[in-house]
Structure 1
Amino acid sequence: MATLVRRAFKFRFYPTDAQAAELSRTFGCVRKVYNLALQARTEAWQQRQERVNYNATSAMLTVWKKTGELAYLAEVSSVPLQQTLRHLQGAFANFFQKRAKYPTFKSRKKSRKSAEYTSSAFRFRDGRLTLAKMADPLDIVWSRPLPDGRTPTTVTVSQDSAGRWFVSMLCDDRPRPMPTTDATVGIDVGITSLLTLSRPIEGLTDRQGKICNPRHERKDRRRLAKAQRDLARKAAGDGKNRAKARLKVGRAHARIADRRRDFLHKVTTALVRENQTIVIEDLTVRSMLKNRVLARAIADASWSELRSMLEYKAAWYGRDLVVVDRWFPSSKLCSTCGTLRGRMPLNVREWTCGCGTAHDRDVNAAKNILAAGLAVAACGDGVRPQRSTPGGQSSAKQEVVPPQRTRAAAQPRG
């Protein structure tokens, strides 16, 4: 039976002038309440070592609405304001559990413009969505249908830097698992070749099993640079010319992001459809972005988003995703005889093992990643097998995490 999951369905819509004005006011109020609550919680801790929770900030919101300076907060729907307090509570929870940094204030120009409505603040009937404080439904472009008989539980309205309006509807859904297959694949990510697979897939890779990196940012680099130069020449402030220049920069970034996201969706869907078990390598992308030479190319490749898509699509459609530890020497290990080579700089793209096998660095790495992942899948939970090279040097240690989660192959440092 298909697993019940919560899926967000995002659509573009075109608001009327009145709706756009109402949503813009709501965005501003959401940002103001978030900043006020963050300031109150920060001051309470710094001055009195007191922790303020969601209930306390909710009571503060009631008081703020009754003051003369913040009376405008009562003019918009109260639900998005309560939701932003819940988001702040979640941000502090992540901070205290060391999953994120301390929350920061929202900027009027740089922060994402969004407002979240729960079921009490919108009406959805016959495919028509009407938000609180609005008389008319939103003019939504229905690019795909919602799950049959499903009503959104939460609606999030947002506006991106390109000025486009979007509505995201969170619904319960049961994705149909794809037919099982015996196919497996190991994936090595890169820059010149975005992905190198352990085996070629017709219609997706070349003969070596590589998927070329489209370099989306490089294609629009000149257009983006020109838009940024035009923005830099505009006088600082809130002038109309500067706003127009900022919009052009936003549109250039949106064009790049849309193409990148579309490409990654197509690639990950094809990989999940064709393979029962997918093995990838765990990478610390945040640390790799500190390399000033490769940071731009790594950011454009968007390896983190690629992994995220593979994770949730594998969970939806009944596939197994195995993650190999980042310290596994996939490039230096001969996939034929298991010999572990010494130091191998990044400029070495092809090498020949002592057994006589000529290797392409990326293809060899993909094969080794697949072998390590299959070893994890075969051994079961709590087993830490160790494979040794002919010379007696350990090549990898793996472990399996409990079911219902992504299985991972781990190798301790040192």
Structure 2
Amino acid sequence: MTKQNKAYKFRVYPTEEQALMIHKTFGCVRFVYNKMLAERKETYDHLKDDKETLKKVKLPTPAKYKQEYAWLKEVDSLALVNAQRNLDKAYKAFFKGIAKFPKFKSKRHKQSYTTNVVNGNIQLLNGYIQLPKLKRLKMKQHREIPSEHTLKSCTLSITSSGKYYISILTAYEKQIDPKEIHTMVGLDFTMDGLFVDSDGKKANYPKFYRQMLGKLAIEQRKLSRKKKGSSNWNKQRIRVANMQEKVANQRKNSLHHLSKELVTHYDAVVIEDLDMKGMSQALQFGKSVADNGWGMFTSFLKYKLKEQGKHLIKVDKWFPSSKTCSSCGNIQPMPMNMRVYACSCGLKLDRDYNAALNIKKEGMRLLASAS
């Protein structure tokens, strides 16, 4: 049996009193995080050349600040502990060289906090969820959480348009047996339509952001003309935020459906290990890359395949999938404006379909060498 985690996200409807406590907790979590980071930054600046001493320094905890700032005691103490844990993770990632030095949080950051399940302090009730300091919070539970799942933690957040959501993290055990690979598909990322697969099919993924761009630009211009902080400005800000959230929700929903379809039909999916951030900067395709949501799509693929014992195979980003002939293996230059791969061996294919075939072949080679 393998231990698994799964999160369920629902919309919640706090009362005015509960909303006030939620926002107070957001502020306290941000305050404690920034205070701890400021102390760590000061210590790091003084001792960065003496790493052995730096490792032995006793780091601050939320309890230290409660003595000086009594109002921190009003909010959920576990939320403050989780702020410390998040900072610890960011700090360790920096020292491992996999992330930059942690940044201070501001009100413009995503507003959220996490609380843990301790001695039954969090319970699912009929249409409600019981949380520390909030008591019974109204929740729209559109899907059931299986009875064998154990609640671990809850994260409360608010969107730019003022909607409240709760993400409930659960743990469960499941027997996952690796499946034999009988069907495999290779995917070549494309700016137009997300991907082309090695069966010659295109995802035909809608460009939700591009579709909304004209209307969004009009609403953003209206926002820029209004006095910042006024009632009309706030109404227009919410209108813009709702449009942006609609695009994000459409994108997420569509990517869930596409990934589920692939996982249903194939035992293994082969993709290129692409640096999307680098691509968007180097090729000046920022909007197109963000609109496609390739990173989100691959993360959906990964966990859905893993749940079924299936396989996600990543091909090196430097593998010349577009330049290689899928028939004879010849390599030739392929500028971005050349949309058809024509080889001296007689092969003539759409460049993306040809690349997808090469990605699938490389995936099969990697599997063979691994076994």
Cα contact 1:54–1:89 (8 A) shared by 2: no
Which of the numbers 353, 365, 368 marks the counterpart of 2:355? 365
- Which structure 2 residue ranges, 5 or more long, are not aligned? none
Cα contact 2:117–2:151 (8 A) shared by 1: yes
Distance 1:346 1:34, change over 3 A: same
Which of the numbers 216, 225, 232 marks the counterpart of 1:233? 225
Which of the numbers 292, 295, 299 marks the counterpart of 1:301? 292
Distance 1:337 1:232, change over 3 A: same
1:25 partner SS: helix
1:321 is matched by which residue type in structure 2? L
2:220 and 2:197 map into 1 onto residues whose CA distance is 37
2:225 and 2:314 map into 1 onto residues whose CA distance is 47
Distance 1:330 1:31, change over 3 A: same
Query: 1:57 is matched with which residue?
Result: 60
2:323 partner SS: coil
1:348 paired with 2:338, answer yes
2:297 and 2:214 map into 1 onto residues whose CA distance is 26
1:329 and 1:6 map into 2 onto residues whose CA distance is 36
How far did 1:232 drift?
2.0
More helix by share: 2
CA RMSD, Structure 1 to Structure 2 (Å) = 2.2
Distance 1:54 1:122, change over 3 A: farther
How far did 1:44 drift?
2.1
Matches within 5 A, 1:70-149: 70-108=69-107, 110-120=108-118, 122-126=121-125, 128-135=128-135, 137-149=136-148
Query: 1:269 is matched with which residue?
Result: 260
1:374 and 1:106 map into 2 onto residues whose CA distance is 45
Distance 1:188 1:54, change over 3 A: farther
How far did 1:174 drift?
4.4
Cα contact 2:111–2:158 (8 A) shared by 1: yes
The 10-residue stretch of structure 1 (361-370 or 16-25) with the greater mean CA deviation from structure 2: 16-25
Superposed CA offset, 1:186-231 (max 9, x none): 00010113110101xxxxxxxx411113111011112221232223
2:71 and 2:142 map into 1 onto residues whose CA distance is 36
1:139 is matched by which residue type in structure 2? K
2:129 partner SS: strand
How far did 1:337 drift?
1.6
1:152 partner SS: strand
Which of the numbers 324, 339, 363 marks the counterpart of 1:333? 324
Distance 1:315 1:43, change over 3 A: same
Distance 1:195 1:29, change over 3 A: same
2:275 and 2:3 map into 1 onto residues whose CA distance is 31
Query: 1:389 is matched with which residue?
Result: none
1:377 paired with 2:362, answer no
2:213 and 2:64 map into 1 onto residues whose CA distance is 49
1:281 and 1:158 map into 2 onto residues whose CA distance is 33
How far did 1:53 drift?
8.5
What TM-score does the superposition give when structure 2 sets the normalisation length? 0.92
Superposed CA offset, 1:302-326 (max 9, x none): 1111111111111111111111111
Cα contact 1:195–1:211 (8 A) shared by 2: yes
Superposed CA offset, 1:83-141 (max 9, x none): 10110111101111111111111111x11111111113832154542111123x12111
2:356 is matched by which residue type in structure 1? A
1:119 and 1:245 map into 2 onto residues whose CA distance is 39
1:245 is matched by which residue type in structure 2? Q
Query: 1:16 is matched with which residue?
Result: 15
Matches within 5 A, 1:140-289: 140-174=139-173, 182-199=182-199, 208-236=200-228, 238-289=229-280
Cα contact 1:176–1:317 (8 A) shared by 2: no
Distance 1:302 1:86, change over 3 A: same
What TM-score does the superposition give when structure 1 sets the normalisation length? 0.82
